[in-house]
Amino acid sequence: MMKLSRSLVTIAVVGMAAAQNKTTVSISVPSNMSTRILAPDVYGYSIEPVWLDSYLNTSLASTLLGSIANVTGKGTPIRVGGNTADQTYLYPSSPLPLTGTDSAAIPDALTATRFNITPRCWANAVAEAQAAYAGLGDSLVAFELGNEIDHFINKGWRDASWGVKTYIEQFRNLTGQITGSGWYQALAATSNSTHNNKKKTPTFQAAVFADPPLVPDQQDEIDDFSIANLTAGGITLRPEEKNIISSYAVHLYPQSTCDTPRWYRLRLDLLSDHSVLWKNVSQYIPQVAAADAAGAPLVIGETNSASCSGKSGISDTFGAALWGVDYVLTAASIGIEKVYFHLGARSEYSSFTPLPYTLKNETLVPGIRAGWYAHYFLARVVSSKNRNCGGGKRSEFHIAALPSANSSSLSGFAVYSQNDDVKKGVRHAGGKELRKLVFLDMGVWNGTEGLANPSTLSATDGTMFSEGTRPVSTFEVTTPWAQGATVKVVRLAAPGTNAKSNVSVAGTVFDDETGEPAVGGEGAQLGDEYSEIIEVGAAGILRFDVQRAEGVLLEVGGDETSVGCGDDGDHDDSQHESTPGTSGTLRAEAPTSGSEPNIDPSMSEQSQVGEPGSGATGAGVNTGAGTTREKTDAEIEADRLYEEAMEEEYAKREGGA
């Protein structure tokens, strides 16, 4: 009976296919693909320091990230850093000066070029590191020393001799001071104790380069920075240095609003394009190899669709959401273990914004943009909640990109678990078990619904619409899965590439004001909802439809319940966990400063190695030990030139709009 009714359904589908002129896409899943780790916290955020307060001021971020933690069992990593970290000025006392663009401690959205703090906030790198630990405790994972350090010559913060050699000297000096300080040593002693309760000493995220290796016309200055040069230059020469570096970071923005030439090259269909994305991400393959060889993974420490705050109409559309999913999975498949999406409370590329504000003559309300749904969809991809977890363990997932789903408009991935905790009877391949498949139709379909989102600029709502009927493809995927096995389908869907609202994941939508999920599917719990259930056919062939501009996750073994398979056994002890659902800032990677206490004065003079508490101050330069000296003329001039350049960039941006 079952077989009969299924074949009737198949016939009906074939009939529909003919009527709709469907194309068939055949995909195979090679059994011998090499895979890379797919971490449960592969998707992170990077928050610009001036906007941290805004994100912490409402419950939107904590509610949204609480949902992610509930699904993945792991907090979302947050890196605090960015441009305004490099422009953080320490004032000896309140009140902060009220002049020009730095008219307030929390600057205006588009004119924010600097961020003023008092010593009550932070003092210098070493004290700052201690303060960060005191404030964040176990949530603190790592420090960065400087932001986009391969722009420091151009910004006038280092002379032409700045390069790998001097960087390593300064990195070594600062990390040495931080790890040598009392609080760090005390923590290290605790973590050595037999009562080890997972307390770990914070590590360092090294490098933090901005320039894309293979796009010479976007490189700000000539220097010798690359991960390969850094590791060859001996950054981990000493064993203790290898232990404290937990990752190497690079930044990547495929498009940009920062200057006029790139403003005119901004395009939504270049974002929702897997071949373009591959070009952008694959340029880091040699850097991944260098980082791996040095014993720590490469991460994209700061990224988004377009630099200088993004572009509404591109950055806040469903096309950007598909790009986000493709980006994170493509990066993971080549060994980039985490991708941190930059957030500003008034940035056009932010996945969600917590407070109302005025931008370009429009009043925008707080809300959730399409990009958020990429994060939630990815949470479903990395979640091991729904699988059999008999051993009390969540499974470690690995990922490979599928060679037969690799064009501008199609991207596909296979997700595996190691077979050490696999249920008996499930088929294995190459020591790994295929658990999930992800397919992204990146083709552009401009629909007529969901065009507006009151948290985005209405001036950029879609006005170009695709003609005809939205195409649908039938996928025929040859899998190693057994005939008759059930497969849960989770769709990331929207009315079109141009949609700014009406985006959903398996029918689940998040309330724009509160961030609370309204879970699709009768009686389903967050993380257990699905769009439909299908069955594996003869010879392991799985058939399903995908419409143009849609993401699909397929998960085998869908009818196993997850009860009792909580987050009690995450294998990854290298990062600290917080209890899911308790806080939005579940883990933080707080940058520390390159303020240079007690070090070579010649470095101190040129230096503002980024991040809150940077050595240079408005009233003078921090010389360490809590005192300041007057800024040199060269420093004042460098600051002036930088601010002028920033203002010019923003002016161009407005002009181009």
Ligand X SMILES: *[C@@H]1O[C@H](CO)[C@@H](O)[C@H](O)[C@H]1NC(C)=O
The residues that touch ligand X, with contacts defined as CB under 6 A, are 21, 30, 32-34, 53-54, 57, 63, 66-67, 70, 106, 173, 176-177, 180, 185, 188-189, 192, 212, 215, 218, 224-226, 229, 252-254, 267-269, 276, 278-280, 313, 355, 360-361, 401, 403, 406, 444, 446, 450, 462, 464, 466, 498, 501-502, 526, 580-581, 599-600, 657
Residues in a beta bridge with 398:
37, 416
Residue 610 Cβ, how far from ligand X at the closest point, in Å?
Answer: 18
Residue 151 Cβ, how far from ligand X at the closest point, in Å?
Answer: 14
106/109 with CB nearer ligand X? 106
**How many CA within 13 A on the CB side of residue 289?**
6
Cβ-Cβ contacts under 8 Å for 566 (sequence gap 6 or more)? 73
346/631 with CB nearer ligand X? 346
Residue 21 Cβ, how far from ligand X at the closest point, in Å?
Answer: 4
Q: What is the CA 426 to chain-centroid distance, rounded?
A: 33
User: Is the CB of residue 294 less than 8 Å from the CB of residue 236?
Assistant: yes
185/632 with CB nearer ligand X? 185
Residue 461 Cβ, how far from ligand X at the closest point, in Å?
Answer: 8
113/170 with CB nearer ligand X? 170
Residue 637 Cβ, how far from ligand X at the closest point, in Å?
Answer: 26
595/639 with CB nearer ligand X? 595
CA atoms of 244 and 160, how far apart (whole Å): 28
Q: Cα–Cα–Cα angle for 607, 612, 617, nearest 5°? A: 50
Residues in a beta bridge with 622:
628
Residue 167 Cβ, how far from ligand X at the closest point, in Å?
Answer: 12
442/485 with CB nearer ligand X? 442
Residue 137 Cβ, how far from ligand X at the closest point, in Å?
Answer: 18
187/619 with CB nearer ligand X? 187
Residues in a beta bridge with 477:
27, 542
Residue 395 Cβ, how far from ligand X at the closest point, in Å?
Answer: 20
Q: Cα–Cα–Cα angle for 165, 169, 175, nearest 5°? A: 140
CA atoms of 481 and 36, how far apart (whole Å): 21
229/418 with CB nearer ligand X? 229
280/531 with CB nearer ligand X? 280
Residue 196 Cβ, how far from ligand X at the closest point, in Å?
Answer: 11
Buried residues in 473-497 as b, exposed as e (16+ CB within 10 A): bbbebebbbeeebebbbbbbbbbbb
Cβ-Cβ contacts under 8 Å for 87 (sequence gap 6 or more)? 113, 114, 115, 608, 642
Residue 59 Cβ, how far from ligand X at the closest point, in Å?
Answer: 10
Residue 409 Cβ, how far from ligand X at the closest point, in Å?
Answer: 12
DSSP 311-322: -TTTTTSHHHHH
Match 């960087």 to its residue by tokens: 167
CA atoms of 84 and 459, how far apart (whole Å): 28
User: Is the CB of residue 535 less than 8 Å from the CB of residue 6?
Assistant: yes
How many other CB atoms are there within 10 angstroms of residue 636's CB atom?
Answer: 12
**E strands present in 58-162:** 77-80, 88-90, 115-117, 142-144
Query: Which residue's CB atom is positioned nearest to ligand X?
Result: 176
365/645 with CB nearer ligand X? 365
User: Is the CB of residue 81 less than 8 Å from the CB of residue 611?
Assistant: yes
40/212 with CB nearer ligand X? 212
In Å, what is the CA distance from 181 to each residue of 126, 127, 138, 196, 588? 8, 9, 18, 21, 21
